[in-house]
Amino acid sequence: MQSQAITMAGRRAPRGLFAAATLSLAATFALLQPAPASAQPQAQPQLRAMPDFADLAEMVGPSVVNIRTSEKAKRAGRGNAQVDPNLEEFFRRFGIPMPGGRNPRGNNDDEDDDLPQRRGVGSGFILSADGFVMTNAHVVEGADELIVTLTDKREFKAKVIGADTRTDVAVVKIEASGLPAVKIGDVNKLRVGEWVMAIGSPFNLENTVTAGIVSAKQRDTGDYVPLLQTDVAVNPGNSGGPLLNLRGEVVGINSQIYSPSGAYAGISFAIPIDEAMRVADQLRAGGRVVRGRIGVRIGPVTKEVAESIGLGKPVGALVQSVEQGTPAEKAGIEAGDIIVKVDGRQVEKSVDLQRMIGATKPGTKSTLQVFRRGAYKDITLTVAELEADSAKSRTPTPAETPSSSAAKAHLGLTVAELTDAQKKELKVRGGVRVEAVEGAAARAGIREGDVILSIDNTEVADVKQFGVVVGKLNKDKAVTLLVRRGDWVNYIVIRPTR
């Protein structure tokens, strides 16, 4: 096949040469003439050379540490399969059961107090010359012993100063001085497409350097922290290591990867360093992070719902339930409200509200702007403190009582009155209970047992009013119901049958 290909190429070549030779002399001179000014190609933007990460790695490398974690040995409950200790951090991080019946959190039935066993490896970086080191909370979680290794091979036992699982940030301390601390960068100046570099200990390979670009900012993969997305190669053991810009400044902490297999698949996430430093400052000052709360459960506002209730744009956070005895209940926040501003700052997405309130100091008075039944309303409340392990409120189920009356409408709903006991249990002033559902309502997702609180921004007090409101609806237009299901509320849009 190879000789045939060469032969065929040899046969075509003379034709090409002959064709070129047939050009007239005039045409040849025409080709050699300079193009008119209007036809000259426009100047191309100057391309930058590829960055050289060597100096950067040499400069920042000594500030990056390896962290090994140990725990008391456990006897395998099932089988004797051995797991690579370098992979244990990944299993623990994502809650995947490990071979041999071992729990990903390291909690087994039997313990051997005599033998220490390495749980896994991680990374970290030096915050201050006196030995404060930042890493991920999941790196140090549950560890009985931490060993921090510097690039000069010195090893230190470390003490956990504090760890915050909500942001996955931890601060540990080693007894040393004169250490090379990192420089903290400005995340706000970081641009999508900008080169970044990571240093860490993937699979316990200390001070491994990888590089890539910032793929996106403000990724909502965390409750309290919008993450940086990069394509920097990050693997188990990189967790807790720094993400650096080309000036050698830390702009993030490598924390998570997206991977169906457990190894790097082209997408990694880092905690922005400004958020991490705010957490670290509180951990160093008091060993824990103090956050605000107002006592609401929230959900997103869809484009369809926003248009149907007159909000216009899908902004804000939908209040799905209000916890009893909380600042929100005392201030008059209601299920179905859409919180659009906090102290004048726009709430673009539901997660923004959680972060805004979480960052507010408990005891602070805040003004919330809510959208309720077609109008805006300002509500002032005092932010409370979010407990470390706040108990989840019970989700009540509407009592199954026979209906005393029913109303059938073109929506395909049969409804019944709520008893006083049901209203008290659900903490509502009115509403009707869905007894049966079919047609358009069933297709929209309404279920038997749901409680309808309003129709197109009009409150529903009882079955009689429900019938009146439904009777005035335009059968050719969509209708938006505010529906309570258990302890949650949501807007459901019912579209007419075409």
Chain-centroid distance of CA 157 in Å reads: 33
**Residue 88 has which token pair?**
């244990």
**Residue 199 has which token pair?**
């240093």
DSSP states of 199-212: EE-GGG-TTEEEEE
Report which of 309, 5, 295, 280 is spatially closest to residue 169, judged by C-alpha positions.
Answer: 280
Helix, strand, or coil (residue 175):
coil
Report which of 392, 405, 349, 414 is spatially closest to residue 486, judged by C-alpha positions.
Answer: 392
Q: In DSSP terms, which residues pair with 270 in a beta bridge?
A: 228, 254
Q: Are strands 195-200 and 242-244 parallel, antiparallel or unpaired?
A: antiparallel
Q: Give the span between the Cα atoms of 387 and 290, in whole angstroms.
A: 8
121 φ, ψ (degrees, to nearest 5)? -130, 155
Q: In DSSP terms, which residues pair with 293 in a beta bridge?
A: 384
Helix, strand, or coil (residue 2):
helix
Q: In DSSP terms, which residues pair with 264 in a beta bridge?
A: none
CA torsion angle 66 71 77 80 (round to 10)? 50
CA dihedral for 6, 12, 17, 20, sign (positive or negative): negative
Q: Give the span between the Cα atoms of 480 and 458, in whole angstroms.
A: 10
Burial class of residue 275 (count of CB atoms within 10 Å of its CB; 0-12, 13-18, 19+): buried
Q: Give the span between the Cα atoms of 161 and 184, in whole angstroms.
A: 20
Report which of 276, 83, 96, 95 is spatially closest to residue 168, judged by C-alpha positions.
Answer: 276
Residues 63, 123, 164, 168: which is the catalytic one?
A: 168
Residues 201, 239, 366, 454: which is the catalytic one?
A: 239
Our answer to whether residue 168 is catalytic in this structure is yes
Residues 138, 201, 268, 352: which is the catalytic one?
A: 138
* Residues carrying an active site annotation: 138, 168, 239
